[in-house]
Amino acid sequence: MIRRVRNLYRIAFVVMVVAGAAIVNYSPGAKAQAASAGADKKDGLQAMYATAAEVAEGKRIAQATCVRCHGLDGISTAKGVPHLAGQRPAYLYLELRAYQSGARGKKVMDGAVEFLSDDALVKVAAYYASLDPAQPFAARGAKPVPDPVQAGKAAAAACAACHGEGGISKTPGMPSLVALEPKYLVTAMKGYKSGQRKHDLMKSLLAAVSDADMNNIALYYALQTPARAQTPAAGNQAAGKTAAVACGGCHGNQGVSANPAFPSLAGQDAQYLATALQAYKNGSRRDEAMKGLAAALNDRVMKDMAAFYAAQPPQPLNIRRPLTTAEWAQKCDRCHGANGNSVDPFMPALAGQRMEYLVKVLHDYRTRVHQSSAMAAMSDALTEGDIENLAAYYARQKARTVVFVPVPGK
């Protein structure tokens, strides 16, 4: 790990943040930056100790081999090509090695690094690292992808009149939407919209609601604190409980289902439950499993079962609120530095990088085209919206050059 390398070299780093003119003492352990670039740390550090002559040599190599894509200033003008200027030197060197070995795909750089010596890679990395970084990119037209829970809340504003605040019904006949699996709610909404589940009112209400908003609405309701519908229940709970034994296999003994395909019934509005059973029985709501079961039930038993389920406490779902972009960025900054300005020579800076490149690379980690154990887990946890938002966020941050100065240690 980096600490060992430092001991090996008997150095501590003083990091001078040039743009901010701040001096940061970068001693091991002072910063929670976890470097994980692998075995070649020792080699990677060479690019940091390059002399002026070596950097000049790196410039000549860049001129001969890299300019047509990266420019001599390391500031990309082409889609898909990352900025290199001011990027952390050890990181650049190790990525060049990764391209050379094919670990980052064979063709991306058109064979540009294939025949360069290790020494040349060190120098060209040192050269690009020594340059002033790109100015932050004015993320043109990049509209932030809205937070799914906030978007769901907004889209569900119109539903509260019937389904109650937070999806807890106050109106007999109107189902609660809280404590229902998003998968079930989305299927129900799509069923109404397509006409597969017949209900003219719900069909017209959902006609203009997009699939994305249905997902957001379902997520919003799934995250609300559940409570029983605040509606009366006419039937006999005790009789209902006995009759409901046959239903527990799918809906749970207390009406809390363990399978997203089977809706929970606990705390649901009783009148809605009884109506639903009628609808299955008379065929106006189609479902093979429920049709057969409801056929055997008379009105009284339906009411009793409905009363039993309505009295059961609904349970919160095992679903976590997704992180906001700001919360994600906090996690990323732990490794990539404040606002994506890494102070670790092995850790890429993200600040000021091209947005579309950041998006591409995050996808590459996710599909394992670009392999990194640290980033594989991270990228798996990101949604498309998170990727767009984080890329736009880091592209907007001001990139700061960092000069790593080796100082004698004990």
Site string for ligand HEC, 2-41 (x = CB under 6 A): --------------------------------x-xx----
Q: Does 129 bind ligand HEC (CB under 6 A)?
A: no
What is the closest distance, in whole angstroms, from the C-beta atom of residue 141 to ligand HEC in the complex? Answer: 21
Q: Quickly tell me which residue has 């980033």 as its tokens.
A: 375
Report the relative pairing of strands 22-26 and 402-408 from DSSP bridges. Answer: unpaired
Work out the angle at residue 60's Cα, subtended by the Cα atoms of residues 361 and 402, and round it to the nearest 5 degrees: 50
User: What minimum distance in Å lies between the beta carbon of 318 and ligand HEC?
Assistant: 19
- How many chain residues are in contact with ligand HEC, going by CB under 6 A? 83
Q: How many C-alpha atoms does 372 have within 13 Å on its Cβ side?
A: 23
Asked if 23 and 16 touch (Cβ cutoff 8 Å), the reply is yes
Helix 373-380 vs helix 325-336: crossing angle, to nearest 10: 180
What's the rounded Cα separation, in Å, for the pair 328 and 391?
11
Residues 314-373 that bind ligand HEC (CB under 6 A): 328, 331-332, 334-336, 347-348, 350, 353, 358, 360-362, 370, 372
Taking the C-alpha atoms of residue 198 and residue 285, their distance in angstroms, rounded to an integer, is 7
**Does position 112 bind ligand HEC by CB under 6 A?**
yes
User: Taking a C-beta distance cutoff of 8 angstroms, is the pair 5, 94 a contact?
Assistant: no
Among 283, 159, 277, residue whose Cα is nearest residue 221 = 159
Q: Which span sits near ligand HEC by CB under 6 A: 137-145, 152-160, 230-238, 312-320?
A: 152-160
Interactions with ligand HEC, residue window 36-95 (CB under 6 A): 36-37, 65-66, 68-70, 80-82, 84, 87, 92, 95
Of 292 and 409, which CB lies nearer to ligand HEC in the complex structure?
292
Q: Judge contact between 282 and 212, C-beta under 8 A.
A: no
* CA distances to 10, 89, 234, 301, 403 from 128, in Å: 26, 8, 77, 78, 13
Closest distance to ligand HEC from the beta carbon of 398 (Å): 16
Residues 212-271 that bind ligand HEC (CB under 6 A): 217, 244, 246-247, 249-251, 261-263, 265
Regarding 295 and contact with ligand HEC (CB under 6 A), the answer is no
CB of residue 48 to ligand HEC, shortest distance in Å: 15
Which residue of 159, 256, 395, 399 would you call a contact of ligand HEC, by CB under 6 A? 159
Residue 392 found at the interface with ligand HEC (CB under 6 A): no
Residue 149 binds to ligand HEC (criterion: CB under 6 A): no
Q: For ligand HEC, which residue of 50, 75, 113, 129 counts as binding (CB under 6 A)?
A: 113
Asked whether position 175 contacts ligand HEC by CB under 6 A, the answer is yes
Question: Quick one: residue 224, left, alpha or beta (phi over 0 = left, psi -120 to 50 = alpha)?
Answer: beta
| Residue among 117 and 318 whose Cβ is closer to ligand HEC | 117
Number of residues that make up the chain:
410
Q: Establish if 311 lies at the interface with ligand HEC (CB under 6 A).
A: no
